[in-house]
């Protein structure tokens, strides 16, 4: 984390006019109570328009953050610490507050209830502005070393005493990262465009955001009228971008057909997507979710500065653990242990070393390569370094011969990979940040053994269990993401694949996401017993996709008044904590899979 980066970006601009937080809290309340997505955007547009130079700070607070993800700014304020501060401010014991919290499940609501009853007032009442709150939360984030816990509690007390009950509820939710107003970056970006730009640039601005995922920055530049600068945004060293993703097909033949007869095929490594950024001897690594992972991989970081003799570069690849004795690749789960691990990293690094298999380069020595065709980018990548245990090139062939590709697929599986990623070699095979498109097509083993791929679905509701499942949920309501409308469309009810432990811990796992009403971005004909804000993504396997009169996924696309649903869904046991709800399988993908499946059935019959 580099908090100085944040200062240099914004604070030094000398903010002059401050927006009152009460306006923000009122808007949040309205947003929580609306069930319509368009209304969410309109409310946001009005709020953003009323900001001044504090606009970026407002945008971060609306995102429920203090800055862009890649700066990794955390308030470091746990629920436990908040309970301690609330106890100090109210004379209610920590134990009683904890009990209430366990019942209610939202620390923000608890703070509000306590604030409603408080008698303590500060000597001098501060104006609760957006800037004041952001400053105070940054103070929390900055505090370190001895006395830092006290400093954080003091900062929270300060906010508690100076704000209204409604305000402290939202502030507390922001602090704990659970704002729960149900808006995504896509909705916020939409509102930013509506508020400050000509809508004809909407797509270009989204593109810029994919390379520079900082909504505060984009909002403030657009407000200043700097659309040209925004349109010029491309890959920038040390700023993570949203990675390019692949479509899926089920056979080599279909892929070759789609790719015009010939293309490149690369091993699909089963690891952790990793961006390697290098600039003036410094190295930073980022995950697919744009979190900085440099500290988790000291071995890779060190190797990168030794391997790449460049002024600056941005590389894309997959980090895969391997057995140092046999060289055999391990499955991805093995490195998830490194996440959040502070100690013993050196030991872990030598026990479970990692290779980053590089498959792309988007920036080199001051030059943006994202609009250079894939084959040329690959050539640049190949000439850039000598392979070592830490960095290798993704194995690849170029072919139009199905038999040869089948053999390559089999060797990928034998070598511990998931299958292949086909890559277009056409002149317009550019690097499309944040896009899932047909320039890359994945072919996985699952598609051949089973009917199709696993799905990553977002949980939007639950039904109470009966009989043996009394006291927990009997089924979860799952949804796909409609990336066109920024909504979640239901696709199945899931009740199998749970171990007893997981099953009975479901209410606890979801307690922080409960919504009184259907969240605005959820599209559903079903009324579950409990609604959830789209937050948790889980991996599901199913038997087939069928037309459904109940579910809303791809509604009306195949048949009038019907959507699509997954039949016999089963939880694979994998919570996709690395994915945001907006990274779930999309409704469009389900539609494609339905069409593919239908084609196969027809082919088999004839």
- The reply on whether position 53 binds ligand ATP by CB under 6 A is no
Binding-site string for ligand ATP from residue 239 to residue 258, where x marks contact by CB under 6 A and - marks none: ------xx------------
Binding-site string for ligand ATP from residue 197 to residue 236, where x marks contact by CB under 6 A and - marks none: ----------------------------------------
Binding-site string for ligand ATP from residue 356 to residue 375, where x marks contact by CB under 6 A and - marks none: ---x----------------
Q: Please name the residues in contact with 568: beta carbons below 8 A apart, sequence gap of 6 or more.
A: 496, 542, 543, 544
Pick 148 or 410: Cβ nearer ligand ATP: 410
CB-based contact 447:441 (threshold 8 Å): no
Among residue numbers 420 through 439, which ones bind ligand ATP (CB under 6 A)?
Answer: 421
Start-to-end CA distance of the chain, whole Å, equals: 60
Among 442, 493, 521, 551, binds ligand ATP (CB under 6 A): 442
Smallest gap from Cβ 540 to ligand ATP, in A, equals 12
Q: How many CB atoms lie within 10 A of CB 40?
A: 27
- The reply on whether position 380 binds ligand ATP by CB under 6 A is no
CA torsion angle 165 171 174 178 (round to 10): -10
**Known active-site residue 268:** yes
Long-range contacts of 7-15 (CB under 8 A, 24+ apart): 9/56, 9/217, 10/56, 10/57, 10/216, 10/220, 13/53, 14/53, 15/52, 15/53, 15/54, 15/57, 15/131
Smallest gap from Cβ 255 to ligand ATP, in A, equals 14
Smallest gap from Cβ 272 to ligand ATP, in A, equals 7
CB-based contact 505:604 (threshold 8 Å): no
Stretch that binds ligand ATP, among 41-49, 177-185, 268-276, 304-312 (CB under 6 A): 268-276
Tokens representing residue 34 in the block: 């609306």
Residue of 65, 268, 442, 444 with catalytic role:
268
Binding-site string for ligand ATP from residue 387 to residue 416, where x marks contact by CB under 6 A and - marks none: -------x----------------------
CB-based contact 563:488 (threshold 8 Å): no
Among residue numbers 301 through 340, which ones bind ligand ATP (CB under 6 A)?
Answer: 318
CB-based contact 45:30 (threshold 8 Å): no
- The reply on whether position 286 binds ligand ATP by CB under 6 A is no
Q: Please name the residues in contact with 473: beta carbons below 8 A apart, sequence gap of 6 or more.
A: 462, 463, 464, 465, 503, 506, 507, 510, 530
Stretch that binds ligand ATP, among 11-19, 101-109, 213-221, 264-272 (CB under 6 A): 264-272
- The reply on whether position 269 binds ligand ATP by CB under 6 A is yes
> How far are the Cα atoms of 34, 68, 186, 197, 451 from residue 522, in angstroms, in the given order?
11, 26, 15, 27, 28
| SS3 state at 322 | strand
Instruction: Point out which residues bind ligand ATP (CB under 6 A).
Output: 245-246, 266-269, 273, 318, 359, 394, 421, 442
> Catalytic positions, please?
268
């Amino acid at each position: 984390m580099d908090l100085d980066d944040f200062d240099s970006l914004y604070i030094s601009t000398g903010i002059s006019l401050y927006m009152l937080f009460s306006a923000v809290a009122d808007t949040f309340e309205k947003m929580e109570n609306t069930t319509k997505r368009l209304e969410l955007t309109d409310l946001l547009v009005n709020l953003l328009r009323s900001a001044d130079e504090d606009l970026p700070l407002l945008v971060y607070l609306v995102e429920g953050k203090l800055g862009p993800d890649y700066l990794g700014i955390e308030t470091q304020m746990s629920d436990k610490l908040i309970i301690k501060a609330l106890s100090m401010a109210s004379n209610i014991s920590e134990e009683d507050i904890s009990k209430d919290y366990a019942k209610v499940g939202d620390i923000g609501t608890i703070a509000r209830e306590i604030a409603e009853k408080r008698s303590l007032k500060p000597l001098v009442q501060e104006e609760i502005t957006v800037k004041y709150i952001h400053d105070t939360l940054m103070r929390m984030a900055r505090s370190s070393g001895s006395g830092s816990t006290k400093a954080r509690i003091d900062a929270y007390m300060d906010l508690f005493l100076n704000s209204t009950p409604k305000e402290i509820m939202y502030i507390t939710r922001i602090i704990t990262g659970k704002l729960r107003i149900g808006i995504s970056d896509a909705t916020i970006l939409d509102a930013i465009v509506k508020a400050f730009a000509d809508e004809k640039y909407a797509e270009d601005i989204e593109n810029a955001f994919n390379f520079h995922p900082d909504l505060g920055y984009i909002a403030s530049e657009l407000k200043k009228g700097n659309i040209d600068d925004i349109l010029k945004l491309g890959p920038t060293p040390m700023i993570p971008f949203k990675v390019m993703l692949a479509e899926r097909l089920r056979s080599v033949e279909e892929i070759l057909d789609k790719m015009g007869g010939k293309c490149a095929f690369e091993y699909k490594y089963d690891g952790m997507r990793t961006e390697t950024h290098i600039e003036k001897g410094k190295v930073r690594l980022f995950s697919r979710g744009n979190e900085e992972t440099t500290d988790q991989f000291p071995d890779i970081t060190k190797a990168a500065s030794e391997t790449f003799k460049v002024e600056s570069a941005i590389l894309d690849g997959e980090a895969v653990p391997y057995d140092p004795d046999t060289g055999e690749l391990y499955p991805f789960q093995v490195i998830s242990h490194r996440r959040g691990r502070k100690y013993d990293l050196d030991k872990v690094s030598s026990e479970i070393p990692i290779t980053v298999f590089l498959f792309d380069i988007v920036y080199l020595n001051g030059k943006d390569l994202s609009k250079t065709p894939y084959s040329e980018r690959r050539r640049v990548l190949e000439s850039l370094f000598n392979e070592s245990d830490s960095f290798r090139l993704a194995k690849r062939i170029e072919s139009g011969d199905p038999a040869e590709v089948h053999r390559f697929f089999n060797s990928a599986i034998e070598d511990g990979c998931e299958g292949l990623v086909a890559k277009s070699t056409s002149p317009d095979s550019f690097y499309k940040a944040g896009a899932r498109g047909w320039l890359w097509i994945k072919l996985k083993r699952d598609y051949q053994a089973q009917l199709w791929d696993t799905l990553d679905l977002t949980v939007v509701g639950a039904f109470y269990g009966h009989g043996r499942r009394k006291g927990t949920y009997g089924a979860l309501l799952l949804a796909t993401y409609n990336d066109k409308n920024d909504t979640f469309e239901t696709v199945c009810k899931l009740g199998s694949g749970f171990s007893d432990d997981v099953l009975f811990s479901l209410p606890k796992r979801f307690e922080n996401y409960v919504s009184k009403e259907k969240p605005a971005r959820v599209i559903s004909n079903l009324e579950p017993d409990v609604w959830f804000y789209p937050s948790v993504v889980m991996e599901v396997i199913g038997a087939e996709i069928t037309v459904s009169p109940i579910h809303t996924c791809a509604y009306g696309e195949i048949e009038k008044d019907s959507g699509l649903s997954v039949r016999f869904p089963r939880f694979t046991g994998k919570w996709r904590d690395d994915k945001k709800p907006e990274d779930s399988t999309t409704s469009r993908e389900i539609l494609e899979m339905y069409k593919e499946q239908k084609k196969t059935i027809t082919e088999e019959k004839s």
